[in-house]
Chains A and B, each alone.
Chain A
């Protein structure tokens, strides 16, 4: 159990409907202070609605929500002063400069970060006097992050913060998220990128069809840590699947087997091969990636329908990854 002071966000039985569409159905979770919490889910799964309710932008139909000890539905200014919000698209007056916008927004908060510090944190030193309209897409996103942290927030909502970033800008954004977390900031992140959730999040909630279908650390969510491993190798010359010491099946030139105890299976397999001086070229051992788990959990839901695959197909493709 965690005490109330350690909880940044607590959501219990949250529901929201638009007409006949149940966008969020009895969602419950808690986010601890200092935690990086990721919401994963296909478009239309309800993650944006959930976040917007937490931000106080949208009302809820049922359930209780506490954000930094406040009910966000009344949009208390005292709460808004402690939140940082980074939206997907930069929306700022185009004819103002980077410094002007940051200075203006700093004035909304009781104890903002110094403007120059924020400019340096998001790497816009050379662009401080440029008008927003003249920034590149990546620079605008960085300003967006700057606007999210200018008020020294205790809790930051990052809505797909690195969409459209090049790889080095992404790493930079990740470093910034980690630095904010080290400074004690709680972060709620929505993302489509599995590697991003894996690299940053302490815990991940997978949302599909308005419900949380899995919740846990990225390393163990969806049973990743206890799922069977897939062992794969090129079939040695002159060997049939029935000759192998493990129950493998032949897939083209390769042999593949799934095992709940891959140490034991590998030991038998490699011992057998050593005795006979047979090569096991292309040997790989893989567990479910976060993406596999995600696709399995969200299979059949809107938005994921085209890429969501049934479980059998998924497990067959597992060995082919990486």
Chain B
């Protein structure tokens, strides 16, 4: 059963938007109450940042224009947190929702499908934004990170990242057939690409690894979120090229997700 229904004519737009809000509230309750999932998704970005800061990230690095590493790690882990919520957590949870019959059950209930899907996507966005704000606060007050003077480029990068990685999370969920394999498959793709992304160690420009990373969106999202934090004179806060690569991946993910989406479990 693929395809999402258009908004129902029944009921007002306001009532339907309120329905999304209501659904989102329960999505949030369900997410934050799962301590393990919440720590894995939200806690790791904070833990990684603090660990790297403790191991000398306040030093300056030549590879990134002689700015303090922490200045790069804070937006980098904000991007990591975003991807963790939108791609990793959403991808795994969509498989579980589908394979346990949760999507089918809600499909049969009167809630409009677009309101349900909207709430699930909004849930990933809210988790991302909570993490980004948390990491900015830790960076600013824990490590004296210089925050951007103009927020628009950073907000744009986060917005593009949320949309694109949510689409990629939804897309990858359609490629996994059982809930047992959801965690391993989704996470392995994520962590392999993360290690190629230059987040833990800056990539040497021109190296084979850097060339490979260039083809994937994770590296580019990190660059796009880090650009507004670049304190080097003359640096542009808008990384248009990187945003474009992320957006193209997001569009591809959206096409896969829409074409392959199904409401019912694979088992039978």
Contact = CB atoms under 8 A, between A and B. Distances in A.
Co-assembled chains A and B: yes
A153 to B, nearest CB: 10
Interface in A52-109: 55-58, 75, 77-78, 80-81, 83, 85, 87, 89, 91-96, 100, 104-105, 107-109
Contact of A107 (B1, B11, B19, B102): B19
B102 A91 contact: yes
A16 to B, nearest CB: 13
Interface in A144-173: 147, 151
Contact of B110 (A81, A131, A147): A81
Contacts, number: 69
Interface residues of A, number: 28
A108 B104 contact: no
Nearest to B30: A93
Given A87-B101, A89-B100, A107-B22, A151 B107 contact: no
A100 B27 CA distance: 11
A108 B19 CA distance: 8
B26 A104 contact: yes
A89 B105 CA distance: 10
A77 B264 CA distance: 19
A93 B104 contact: no
> SS class of chain A's interface: helix, strand, loop or mixed?
loop
Nearest to B263: A57
Contacts of B55: none
Interface residues of B, number: 29
B139 to A, nearest CB: 30
Nearest to A43: B268
Contacts of B104: 57, 87, 91
B105 A151 contact: no
Given A87-B105, A89-B101, A95-B29, A104 B110 contact: no
Interface of A: 55-58, 75, 77-78, 80-81, 83, 85, 87, 89, 91-96, 100, 104-105, 107-109, 131, 147, 151
The 9 residue pairs across chains A and B that have the minimum distance between CB atoms: A91-B101, A95-B33, A91-B102, A93-B30, A80-B110, A108-B110, A81-B110, A95-B30, A77-B8
B12 interface: no
Given A85-B109, A93-B27, 17 more contacts: A56-B108, A57-B263, A77-B10, A77-B112, A80-B108, A85-B108, A91-B105, A92-B102, A93-B26, A93-B102, A94-B30, A95-B33, A100-B26, A100-B29, A104-B26, A105-B109, A151-B110
Q: Which of A85, A91, A105 has the most CB of B within 10 A?
A: A91
Nearest to A133: B34
Nearest to B264: A57
Given A57-B1, A78-B10, A95 B34 contact: yes
B22 A104 contact: yes
Interface in B72-127: 97, 100-102, 104-105, 107-112
B174 interface: no
Given A87-B105, A89-B101, A95-B34, A108 B111 contact: yes
Contacts of B150: none
